[in-house]
Amino acid sequence: MRAIVKQRVEDKLYQNRYMVDHGRPHITVTPHLFPSRNLVALTQVCPAKCYQFNDRGQVTITSDGCLECGTCRVLCGTTGEITWKYPRGGFGVLFKFG
């Protein structure tokens, strides 16, 4: 009988690989003095924790670990607070299944 091994989400995400398109992030945050509530929410809802506060309380992104789930695009993609596009071909997340 095979034992069922439960994995944490973080362990599963660790299996993914990323091809970073250096200098060409596929998501950017529009410069702002104070973050809107939607921008603040991105620091909580992004499953890869790509959004962080900087030391001035503004929301920034490091898109290198982005899963391309589109959650932030739904929340802020039409408000002008972020720009979002898929990475160029050959770049971005490489999911490992199984």
Binding residues vs ligand SF4 (CB under 6 A):
27, 46-48, 50, 66-72
Closest to ligand SF4 by CB, 21 vs 68, is 68
The SS3 assignment for 60 reads: strand
CB of 16 to ligand SF4, least distance (A): 11
CB of 85 to ligand SF4, least distance (A): 11
Contact between residue 21 and residue 85 where contact means Cβ atoms under 8 Å apart: no
Closest to ligand SF4 by CB, 4 vs 10, is 10
Tokens 């509530």, residue located: 37
CB of 2 to ligand SF4, least distance (A): 32
Closest to ligand SF4 by CB, 47 vs 57, is 47
Adjacent-strand bridge partners of 60:
52
Alpha helix ranges (H) inside 3-68: 9-14, 37-45
Contact between residue 67 and residue 84 where contact means Cβ atoms under 8 Å apart: no
CB of 10 to ligand SF4, least distance (A): 14
- d(C-alpha 39, C-alpha 58), whole Å: 9
